[in-house]
Amino acid sequence: MWGESAARLVAAGTARPLAGGPAAFTTIEIVARSRDGVLLAGPVPLAEAVRWAEQDGLAATLATELDALSAPRPSLCGLPQDRPLVMGIVNVTPDSFSDGGDFADGAIAIDHAFELLMQGADILDIGGESTRPGADPVPVEEELRRVVPVIEGIRRRAGAKRPVISVDTRRPDVMRAALDAGADIINDVTGLKDPESRRIVAEAGVPAMLMHMRGEPQSMQGEAVYDFSPLQVLEELEERVLEAERDGIARARMIVDPGVGFAKNATHNLEVLARLGLLHGLGCPVLLGVSRKRFIGLLSREEPAKQRVPGSLAAALAGMEQGVQILRVHDVAETVQALKIWAAVAGER
């Protein structure tokens, strides 16, 4: 449930807020490992789950888990948490899967960034390397040449308005240069796997987005083997979060991303999307990037990337219903409109 309807149930004690945001939940699903595999139980009403936990001596454990699911998330660079934030994608690349070459020219990329802000983007995500399945790596020097002038150009043109800028990179050298150029957030598809990346983020004190991915872009789809993908994505993201904490990055500055389409096939993507709520147990905001992804075409009529907007919106709304805090999208205006209408209708239920 959502909005005022959710607030009324929370006030009545029949629901818990989800990550302190506008959504709330009245039931939980229990996902656990056993000797026989993965155990799924539920959905179970909250009151019944509490009684069950008390009978089995697990009341304190359940209370801790519920608190992690319900606790408010910190603001992100001063942005509000009363609705999902929209992150607009600016691909300064010639080979992106969805808009390769459209914004490869720096001046065009800067113009596009300001168009996204006008459409309602809360965050601009600037990337200079395609990490789609099968993509070849880009030399660090080339990634720097693409990304840094765009960030600097946005900062110059925006002046005192200072939009929030994220840099989408897995390279420590690019992270450092982007932060010097004015980036506010690091968005790393490897989940800060490189110790040097973790050191840079820790020293800069900036937020970081940790995505789930196995292997490298060229080979990651060969690692799409799971016994139950939602649980393994959670477990592997938790490893990245704990590793980052050990290296001095506060959990309050981390955002987690399930990595839809990265080392996952269409079935895995759907499984993860259906149980995004699991990720809230990490105590971090959740970012969801489904915009124009290939699995949408596979489930539909094999439409090319730019014709997958309706499917992208459907997946984004499914994420919104499960309390996702950030949506990373190509089509900002369409996403902002869809979110407003969905929230207005859901708030009346």
Give the number of other Cβ atoms within 10 Å of residue 81's Cβ. 18
Q: Dig out the tokens for 259 from the structure.
A: 């990595």
Quick one: 7 exposed, middle or buried, by C-beta within 10 A (0-12, 13-18, 19+)?
A: middle
Quick one: 341 exposed, middle or buried, by C-beta within 10 A (0-12, 13-18, 19+)?
A: exposed
328: annotated active-site residue:
yes
Q: Dig out the tokens for 87 from the structure.
A: 């992150």
Bridge partners (DSSP) of residue 87 are 123, 328
* C-alpha radius of gyration, the chain, whole number: 20
C-alpha neighbours within 13 Å on the C-beta side of residue 236: 20
Catalytic residue among 171, 293, 294, 308: 293
Q: Dig out the tokens for 284 from the structure.
A: 């971090």
Distance (Å, rounded) from C-alpha 78 to C-alpha 173?
26
Catalytic residue among 73, 275, 294, 328: 328
What is the b/e burial string over 92-112, where b = at least 16 CB atoms within 10 angstroms of the residue's CB?
Answer: bbeebbbbeebbbebeebbeb
161: annotated active-site residue:
no
Active site residues: 293, 328
